[in-house]
Amino acid sequence: MPYIPVRRLLSLTVAGFAALLTVGLIMGAQTSGVAHRLPYAIVVLGAQVLYVLATTMAIRPPAGKIVAAVGILSALAADYAANSPHEATIGPLGLVAGAGLVLGVIGQLAMREGRARVTESLGATTIIVVGVVAFATLLVLVRIPLGTQAITVCLASCGVALTIARLTDVFVPYPRLAAQVPRGAAGVVLGTMIGTAVAAYMGRYLVFFTPQSAALVGAAAAVAAILADLTIGFAEAGRELEGDAPTMWLARHMQGPLAGFALAAPVAYLITNLLWKASA
């Protein structure tokens, strides 16, 4: 099996992208309010569009334009649904996800290429639609009493974990997780630990959190983000081993951090609701 070396400059670039994404999503939440949610919706939509474009270019599904269009429409619908109900709930997001998948099926069946590789098309559509709907969870989370603080804790932990993991790969990319995946186990462990520690420290200064509860939420978000990032790396290695040509480097390396934040958002929402109900 081929051994793929770690590209240190690339790891540094991805770390910088993860850090910038963290700052953007957290600062957007801090400037959001009950009556002024549009600016944060625009920030989240930007992340969703990046996720759709990066994932479409990385996976390269059949009928890719249809898949990307369905992803963008699902993002717009999810953001609208997250802001529209009087009660902050993720229920409407489930309906958007279902509608997006149905629309994707119809669009793919209308295309010859989509009909020939329908399973692959449906898989790509599912990944993209679920991802953009997961991002919209942040817009629901910012509307509940504990939400903005939870976003700060979770996304800070998530962003620090992803950034430290990639920075560690610049200096100590060992031991290797797999010969075909240029990632080191040291970065994964160190990133998760420091991300959790950052969350616990922030919990000392937030009204609705304690260091223990903040560490719990932060650890869950950090683990989810790291696992999503690693899954993208292994999936890309699997496609290359099967003979697929490498995709655009920028798209496939942006996809990991974006997927990490997408997965961390619903995890933050679920745990926050559990903590809120426990404290009520």
132 and 155 fall within a common domain = no
How distant is the alpha carbon of residue 155 from its chain centre? 10
Whole-angstrom Cα distance, residue 222 to residue 199?
10
Query: Among the three residues 141, 156, 173, which one is the final residue of a domain in this structure?
Result: 141
Whole-angstrom Cα distance, residue 140 to residue 81?
9
DSSP notation for the chain = -PPPPP-HHHHHHHHHHHHHHHHHHHHHHHT--SS--HHHHHHHHHHHHHHHHHHHHHH--TTHHHHHHHHHHHHHHHHHHHHSSSS--SHHHHHHHHHHHHHHHHHHHTSHHHHHTHHHHHHHHHHHHHHHHHHHHHHHHTTSTTHHHHHHHHHHHHHHHHHHHHHHHHH---SEEETTEEEEHHHHHHHHHHHHHHHHHHTTS-TT--HHHHHHHHHHHHHHHHHHHHHHHHHHHHHHHTTPPP--HHHHHHHHHHHHHHHHHHHHHHHHHHHHHHH-
Decide which of 131 and 39 is more confident. Answer: 131
206 and 120 fall within a common domain = no
Q: How many residues does the chain have?
A: 280
**pLDDT 10s digits, 136-189:** 999 998 888 788 889 999 999 999 999 999 999 999 998 998 888 889 999 999
121 and 189 fall within a common domain = no
Number of domains in the chain: 2
Q: Are 19 and 165 in contact (CB under 8 A)?
A: no
Query: Among the three residues 118, 141, 164, which one is the final residue of a domain in this structure?
Result: 141
Produce one character per residue of 115-125: b if its CB has 16 or more CB atoms within 10 Å, e if not. Answer: eeeeebbbebb
Domain containing 45 equals 33-141
pLDDT at 122: 83
178 and 77 fall within a common domain = no
231 and 121 fall within a common domain = no
15 and 55 fall within a common domain = no
Contacts of 118 (CB under 8 A, 6+ apart): 108, 109
pTM score: 0.92
253 and 205 fall within a common domain = yes
Q: What mean pLDDT is reported for the chain? A: 88
Query: Among the three residues 120, 141, 162, which one is the final residue of a domain in this structure?
Result: 141
131 and 150 fall within a common domain = no
**pLDDT 10s digits, 218-250:** 999 999 999 999 998 888 877 777 666 556 667
270 and 185 fall within a common domain = yes
Encoding tokens for residue 65?
A: 């334009």
**pLDDT 10s digits, 190-202:** 999 999 999 999 9
152 and 81 fall within a common domain = no
pLDDT at 6: 86
211 and 256 fall within a common domain = yes
Encoding tokens for residue 220?
A: 């869950």
Looking at mean pLDDT, say which of 4-8, 125-129, 206-210 comes out highest.
Answer: 125-129
pLDDT at 162: 97
pLDDT at 54: 92
**pLDDT 10s digits, 32-49:** 765 567 889 999 999 999
25 and 161 fall within a common domain = yes
